[in-house]
Amino acid sequence: MLVFDDEPALADLTDRCQQALRHLPLDPVPLDSLHLTLLRVGFTDELTPLRADAVAQAVANQCGGLPAFPLTIGPLAGSRGAIRFSVTPWNGLVEIRRRLHVAVNGALNGGPRVGRVDSFRPHVSIAYCDHDLPAAPVAQAVAPLRRLAPVTVQIGALSLVVLRREGRAYRWQVYTTVPLTSEARTSSRRSP
């Protein structure tokens, strides 16, 4: 994942949009849980600590020397299942996902294979809808919010996380952080 827990401009934009959408039956993403999922590795009951460490090392080897880069987050978009920000440019993210795919599948060596590289659509969700909702009210509510100025964030690390669902929100514990510089490769390791 890319986590955005220290991006006040993104949190402010998200809060503004969530407040404008509060009349819709949506589950807002907590501001401290904003993220961009790059790749799902596996379920915790399938991934032993030894395999998790192998994945972490492979990801550090594949991605640890990449340069940090900016992302533009916005404008807002909506669908029946989620309200989300578009993210650009995709080039760096697609390359990271390709490298993650190679690293993770290599590290799992016969374990569960992870998703396809070409199905990736980068976005940052700000609300989810877990029931049928007509598209018209969502489109009407999102339309004026699409004119809000996007924000730029600097991506300097990848976070390998242990993801869980708490109520109607995703929460995680960082397992390893992989800096996108040629300096230290991994830090902050915790057991899954």
pLDDT tens for each residue of 104-123: 988 887 655 555 656 788 99
Smallest CA-to-CA distance from 51 within 148, 162, 153, 125 is with: 162
DSSP class of 33: G
What is the architecture of the domain spanning 2-179?
A: Alpha-Beta Complex (3.90)
* CB hemisphere CA count around 34 (13 angstroms): 24
> How much is the pTM?
0.86
For the chain, percent of residues with pLDDT exceeding 70: 90
DSSP class of 109: T
- Tokens found for residue 87: 């993210």
Parse the chain into domains and list their residue ranges: 2-179
Instruction: Give the pLDDT confidence of 174-187 residue by residue, as tens digits.
Output: 999 999 874 444 44
Instruction: Give the pLDDT confidence of 74-103 residue by residue, as tens digits.
Output: 999 987 788 999 999 998 899 999 999 899
CA distance linking residue 157 with residue 178, whole number of Å: 5
Instruction: Give the pLDDT confidence of 148-157 residue by residue, as tens digits.
Output: 999 999 999 9
Smallest CA-to-CA distance from 163 within 177, 175, 181, 148 is with: 175
